[in-house]
Amino acid sequence: SQTIHQWPATLVQPVGSPLSLECTVEGTSNPNLYWYRQAAGRGLQLLFYSVGIGQISSEVPQNLSASRPQDRQFILSSKKLLLSDSGFYLCAWSGLAGKTYNEQFFGPGTRLTVL
């Protein structure tokens, strides 16, 4: 079966500090990978998605970046965090688990607080 991991689970960082969030998927190959952000009490905002190693599409211009160094690894980074970067970050994958690339499966999320 497929599983998706995210770490850390929670993070408190000062403004201006760097960020690195990691997501890994097990039990599948060639997944599509996604990073979402959810501000408190609000909906999901797609930040980045990737259809393969080194292929990153950005949805929202901001001080965040993403990388996919390996097939099942997706990293979200920032050089300098802003207060507005606080939120709940969710990684998701889609692939052939259900013989379709349509539904996405989400990780447990990382709750980031920037002070």
Partner 1 sequence: AQKVTQAQTEISVVEKEDVTLDCVYETRDTTYYLFWYKQPPSGELVFLIRRNSFDEQNEISGRYSWNFQKSTSSFNFTITASQVVDSAVYFCALKTSYDKVIFGPGTSLSVIP
Q: What angle do CA 69, 74, 79 make, to 5 degrees?
A: 85
Q: What angle do CA 104, 108, 112 make, to 5 degrees?
A: 115
| Closer by beta carbon to partner 1, 42 or else 79 | 42
Q: How far is the CB of 50 from partner 1 (least distance, A)?
A: 10
Q: How far is the CB of 17 from partner 1 (least distance, A)?
A: 23
Per-position b or e across 15-38, b if 16+ CB within 10 A of its CB: eeeebebebbbeebeebbbbbbbe
Structure tokens at 23: 């997501």
| Closer by beta carbon to partner 1, 26 or else 103 | 103
| Closer by beta carbon to partner 1, 29 or else 100 | 100
- Site residues, partner 1 (CB under 8 A): 32, 42-44, 46, 49, 51, 59, 88, 90, 92, 94, 98, 100-109, 111
